[in-house]
Amino acid sequence: MDKQDTSDIQASDARPVLEGPDIARVLTRIAHEIVERAKGADDVVLLGIPTRGVFLARRLAAKLEEITDRVIPVGSLDITMYRDDLRMHPPRALARTEIPGDGIDGRLVVLVDDVLFSGRTIRAALDALNDIGRPRAVQLAVLVDRGHRELPIRADYVGKNLPTSLRETVKVQLHEEDGRDTVLLGVKQT
Partner 1 sequence: MQRHLISAADLTRDDAVLILDTAEEMARVADRPIKKLPTLRGRTIVNLFFEDSTRTRISFEAAEKRLSADVINFTAKGSSVSKGESLKDTAQTLEAMGVDAVVIRHGASGAPYRLANSGWIDAAVINAGDGTHQHPTQALLDAFTMRRRLVGRDAGIGQDLSGKRITVVGDILHSRVARSNVDLLHTLGAQVTLVAPPTLVPVGVETWPCEVAYDLDSTLAKSDAVMMLRVQRERMNAAFFPTEREYSRRYGLDGDRMARMPEHAIVMHPGPMVRGMEITAEVADSDRCTVVEQVANGVSIRMAVLYLLLGGNEPAVSHTRTEEK
Nearest distance from C-beta of residue 2 to partner 1, angstroms: 12
Q: What angle do CA 163, 47, 82 make, to 5 degrees?
A: 80
Dihedral sign for Cα 100, 110, 49, 141, please: negative
Closer residue to partner 1, CB minimum distance, 103 or 147: 103
Nearest distance from C-beta of residue 144 to partner 1, angstroms: 20
Specify the 3-state DSSP secondary structure of 90.
coil
Distance CA 173, CA 110 (A): 21
Nearest distance from C-beta of residue 22 to partner 1, angstroms: 26
Nearest distance from C-beta of residue 27 to partner 1, angstroms: 24
Nearest distance from C-beta of residue 131 to partner 1, angstroms: 4
Closer residue to partner 1, CB minimum distance, 25 or 92: 92
By CB under 8 A, name the binding residues for partner 1. Answer: 3, 51, 78, 81-82, 86-97, 99, 127, 131-133
Closer residue to partner 1, CB minimum distance, 39 or 93: 93
179-182 LR contacts (CB < 8 Å, sep 24+): 180/20, 181/19, 181/20, 181/23, 181/24, 182/16, 182/18, 182/19, 182/20, 182/23
Closer residue to partner 1, CB minimum distance, 51 or 169: 51
Q: Do residues 157 and 145 lie in contact, with contact meaning Cβ atoms separated by under 8 Å?
A: no
Distance CA 77, CA 26 (A): 22
Closer residue to partner 1, CB minimum distance, 11 or 93: 93
